[in-house]
Amino acid sequence: MLGFLKNDSPAAAATRLTGERVYLRPPCPGDWRPWAELRTASRAFLQPWEPRWADGALTSAAFRRRLRRQARESREDTGYSFFVFLREDDVHVGGVNFSEIQRGVAMSCTLGYWIGARYARQGLMTEAVGCVLPFAFETLGLNRVEAACLPTNTASERLLRTLGFRQEGFARDYLRINGEWRDHLLFAMRASDNIKRSRGKG
Protein backbone atom coordinates (compact mmCIF):
# COMPACT_ATOMS: atom_id res chain seq x y z
CA MET A 1 0.00 0.00 0.00
CA LEU A 2 1.06 3.57 -0.47
CA GLY A 3 2.34 4.36 2.99
CA PHE A 4 1.20 7.97 3.06
CA LEU A 5 -2.44 7.28 2.20
CA LYS A 6 -5.37 6.91 4.56
CA ASN A 7 -7.40 3.76 4.09
CA ASP A 8 -10.41 5.81 3.03
CA SER A 9 -8.51 8.07 0.60
CA PRO A 10 -9.35 7.84 -3.12
CA ALA A 11 -5.87 6.44 -3.77
CA ALA A 12 -5.74 3.93 -0.92
CA ALA A 13 -6.17 0.96 -3.26
CA ALA A 14 -3.04 1.81 -5.26
CA THR A 15 0.00 -0.42 -4.93
CA ARG A 16 3.62 0.11 -5.89
CA LEU A 17 3.75 1.40 -9.46
CA THR A 18 6.00 -0.79 -11.61
CA GLY A 19 7.47 -0.46 -15.09
CA GLU A 20 9.98 -2.50 -17.04
CA ARG A 21 13.07 -0.95 -15.48
CA VAL A 22 11.77 1.21 -12.64
CA TYR A 23 9.24 1.21 -9.85
CA LEU A 24 7.74 4.06 -7.83
CA ARG A 25 6.61 4.27 -4.23
CA PRO A 26 6.05 7.05 -1.68
CA PRO A 27 9.17 8.23 0.16
CA CYS A 28 9.78 7.01 3.70
CA PRO A 29 12.18 8.09 6.50
CA GLY A 30 14.78 5.49 5.51
CA ASP A 31 15.17 7.13 2.10
CA TRP A 32 16.88 10.24 3.45
CA ARG A 33 20.52 9.27 3.00
CA PRO A 34 20.27 7.89 -0.59
CA TRP A 35 18.08 10.86 -1.55
CA ALA A 36 20.51 13.38 -0.05
CA GLU A 37 23.51 11.71 -1.67
CA LEU A 38 21.82 11.62 -5.07
CA ARG A 39 20.72 15.25 -4.86
CA THR A 40 24.18 16.35 -3.69
CA ALA A 41 25.92 14.52 -6.53
CA SER A 42 23.42 15.99 -9.02
CA ARG A 43 23.34 19.56 -7.73
CA ALA A 44 25.02 21.19 -10.74
CA PHE A 45 22.81 19.17 -13.07
CA LEU A 46 19.53 19.99 -11.29
CA GLN A 47 19.90 23.59 -10.19
CA PRO A 48 19.36 25.21 -13.62
CA TRP A 49 15.86 23.65 -13.73
CA GLU A 50 14.66 23.98 -10.13
CA PRO A 51 13.80 26.66 -7.56
CA ARG A 52 16.86 27.81 -5.64
CA TRP A 53 17.82 25.33 -2.94
CA ALA A 54 17.44 26.63 0.61
CA ASP A 55 20.31 26.35 3.06
CA GLY A 56 20.12 22.96 4.76
CA ALA A 57 17.70 21.61 2.15
CA LEU A 58 19.33 18.17 2.21
CA THR A 59 19.56 17.64 5.97
CA SER A 60 17.67 14.86 7.72
CA ALA A 61 15.55 17.47 9.52
CA ALA A 62 14.56 19.06 6.19
CA PHE A 63 13.72 15.61 4.81
CA ARG A 64 11.47 14.86 7.79
CA ARG A 65 9.68 18.16 7.26
CA ARG A 66 9.26 17.25 3.60
CA LEU A 67 7.71 13.90 4.54
CA ARG A 68 5.31 15.55 6.98
CA ARG A 69 4.22 18.02 4.31
CA GLN A 70 3.72 15.26 1.77
CA ALA A 71 1.72 13.20 4.26
CA ARG A 72 -0.53 16.20 4.92
CA GLU A 73 -0.99 16.81 1.20
CA SER A 74 -1.99 13.19 0.59
CA ARG A 75 -4.47 13.27 3.49
CA GLU A 76 -5.99 16.43 2.07
CA ASP A 77 -5.90 15.04 -1.49
CA THR A 78 -3.90 18.03 -2.73
CA GLY A 79 -0.68 16.25 -3.73
CA TYR A 80 1.06 12.87 -4.02
CA SER A 81 4.80 12.20 -4.17
CA PHE A 82 6.78 9.19 -5.36
CA PHE A 83 10.43 8.21 -5.44
CA VAL A 84 11.74 6.30 -8.46
CA PHE A 85 13.96 3.23 -8.06
CA LEU A 86 15.66 0.82 -10.42
CA ARG A 87 14.03 -2.59 -10.30
CA GLU A 88 17.29 -4.48 -10.67
CA ASP A 89 18.98 -3.15 -7.54
CA ASP A 90 16.55 -0.78 -5.74
CA VAL A 91 18.81 2.22 -6.37
CA HIS A 92 17.07 5.58 -5.93
CA VAL A 93 17.22 7.56 -9.19
CA GLY A 94 14.68 10.40 -8.94
CA GLY A 95 11.20 11.55 -8.04
CA VAL A 96 7.77 12.31 -9.48
CA ASN A 97 4.97 14.30 -7.86
CA PHE A 98 1.46 15.56 -8.45
CA SER A 99 0.70 18.91 -6.82
CA GLU A 100 -2.02 21.57 -6.83
CA ILE A 101 -4.77 18.98 -7.25
CA GLN A 102 -8.05 20.68 -8.09
CA ARG A 103 -11.40 18.93 -7.72
CA GLY A 104 -14.84 20.26 -8.61
CA VAL A 105 -15.13 21.59 -12.14
CA ALA A 106 -11.36 21.46 -12.79
CA MET A 107 -10.27 17.91 -11.84
CA SER A 108 -6.64 18.69 -12.65
CA CYS A 109 -3.13 18.63 -11.19
CA THR A 110 0.42 19.73 -11.91
CA LEU A 111 3.13 17.18 -12.70
CA GLY A 112 6.72 17.56 -11.52
CA TYR A 113 9.73 15.27 -11.83
CA TRP A 114 13.51 15.14 -11.40
CA ILE A 115 16.24 12.58 -12.02
CA GLY A 116 19.81 12.21 -10.80
CA ALA A 117 22.54 13.27 -13.20
CA ARG A 118 24.06 9.82 -13.70
CA TYR A 119 20.67 8.35 -14.66
CA ALA A 120 19.58 11.03 -17.13
CA ARG A 121 19.19 10.53 -20.88
CA GLN A 122 18.38 6.83 -20.45
CA GLY A 123 14.60 7.00 -20.76
CA LEU A 124 14.12 6.13 -17.09
CA MET A 125 12.10 9.22 -16.22
CA THR A 126 9.95 8.85 -19.32
CA GLU A 127 9.12 5.35 -18.12
CA ALA A 128 8.50 6.54 -14.56
CA VAL A 129 6.10 9.30 -15.60
CA GLY A 130 4.37 6.85 -17.92
CA CYS A 131 3.84 4.56 -14.92
CA VAL A 132 2.35 7.26 -12.74
CA LEU A 133 -0.08 8.80 -15.25
CA PRO A 134 -2.70 6.03 -14.78
CA PHE A 135 -2.57 6.81 -11.05
CA ALA A 136 -3.65 10.38 -11.82
CA PHE A 137 -6.34 9.53 -14.33
CA GLU A 138 -7.69 6.19 -13.14
CA THR A 139 -7.06 6.11 -9.38
CA LEU A 140 -7.46 9.80 -8.60
CA GLY A 141 -10.06 10.30 -11.34
CA LEU A 142 -8.54 13.52 -12.68
CA ASN A 143 -9.30 14.89 -16.13
CA ARG A 144 -6.10 16.88 -16.79
CA VAL A 145 -2.43 16.60 -15.87
CA GLU A 146 -0.53 19.81 -16.57
CA ALA A 147 3.24 20.31 -16.79
CA ALA A 148 5.66 23.12 -17.61
CA CYS A 149 9.28 23.22 -18.67
CA LEU A 150 11.86 25.82 -19.59
CA PRO A 151 12.19 26.34 -23.35
CA THR A 152 15.85 25.39 -23.04
CA ASN A 153 15.11 22.12 -21.25
CA THR A 154 14.95 20.01 -24.38
CA ALA A 155 15.12 16.71 -22.46
CA SER A 156 12.03 17.58 -20.42
CA GLU A 157 10.16 18.81 -23.49
CA ARG A 158 11.01 15.60 -25.33
CA LEU A 159 9.78 13.51 -22.38
CA LEU A 160 6.42 15.26 -22.36
CA ARG A 161 5.93 15.05 -26.10
CA THR A 162 6.98 11.39 -26.15
CA LEU A 163 4.31 10.54 -23.59
CA GLY A 164 1.63 12.39 -25.55
CA PHE A 165 1.42 15.73 -23.74
CA ARG A 166 0.41 18.60 -25.99
CA GLN A 167 1.82 22.09 -25.78
CA GLU A 168 -0.98 24.50 -24.93
CA GLY A 169 0.83 27.75 -24.32
CA PHE A 170 3.82 29.87 -23.41
CA ALA A 171 3.90 31.65 -20.04
CA ARG A 172 6.21 34.59 -19.41
CA ASP A 173 7.96 34.74 -16.03
CA TYR A 174 5.98 31.65 -15.03
CA LEU A 175 8.17 30.26 -12.24
CA ARG A 176 11.11 31.48 -10.21
CA ILE A 177 13.88 29.06 -11.18
CA ASN A 178 17.30 29.17 -9.52
CA GLY A 179 16.51 32.66 -8.26
CA GLU A 180 15.22 34.16 -11.53
CA TRP A 181 11.76 34.47 -13.08
CA ARG A 182 11.75 32.28 -16.19
CA ASP A 183 9.44 31.74 -19.14
CA HIS A 184 7.95 28.25 -19.53
CA LEU A 185 6.30 26.08 -22.15
CA LEU A 186 2.92 24.81 -20.92
CA PHE A 187 1.80 21.25 -21.63
CA ALA A 188 -1.19 19.13 -20.68
CA MET A 189 -2.62 15.66 -21.08
CA ARG A 190 -6.32 14.84 -20.77
CA ALA A 191 -7.80 11.61 -19.50
CA SER A 192 -8.98 10.88 -23.04
CA ASP A 193 -5.42 11.39 -24.32
CA ASN A 194 -4.19 8.85 -21.78
CA ILE A 195 -6.74 6.29 -22.98
CA LYS A 196 -5.48 6.75 -26.54
CA ARG A 197 -1.87 6.46 -25.32
CA SER A 198 -2.65 3.22 -23.48
CA ARG A 199 -4.39 1.73 -26.50
CA GLY A 200 -1.46 2.71 -28.69
CA LYS A 201 0.89 0.70 -26.50
CA GLY A 202 -1.26 -2.35 -27.05
Determine the average pLDDT of the residues in 60-64.
97
pLDDT digits (tens, 9 = 90+) for 153-197: 999 999 999 999 999 999 999 999 999 999 999 999 999 998 877
Residue 2, pLDDT > 50, answer no
The DSSP call for residue 51 is P
CATH H superfamily, domain 17-148: Gcn5-related N-acetyltransferase (GNAT) (3.40.630.30)
* pLDDT band of 15, cuts 50, 70, 90: low
Region 12-18: what's the mean pLDDT?
Answer: 68
pTM: 0.90
In terms of DSSP H, where are the helices of 10-59?
32-41, 43-46
Sheet holding 92-102, edge to edge: 17-18, 22-25, 80-86, 92-102, 108-115, 144-149, 180-190, 166-177
Residue 22 has pLDDT above 90, yes or no: yes
pLDDT digit string, tens, across residues 86-127: 999 999 999 999 999 999 999 999 999 999 999 999 999 999
Long-range contacts of 148-152 (CB under 8 A, 24+ apart): 148/110, 148/174, 148/175, 148/184, 148/185, 148/186, 148/187, 149/49, 149/184, 149/185, 149/187, 150/49, 150/177, 150/182, 150/183, 150/184, 150/185, 151/183, 151/184, 151/185
85, containing H or E segment? strand 80-86
Distance CA 25, CA 23 (A): 7
On the question of pLDDT at 137 being above 60, the answer is yes
Higher pLDDT, 63 or 2: 63
Q: Provide the mean pLDDT of the chain.
A: 92
Q: What is the pLDDT of residue 197?
A: 77
3-class state of residue 171 by DSSP: strand
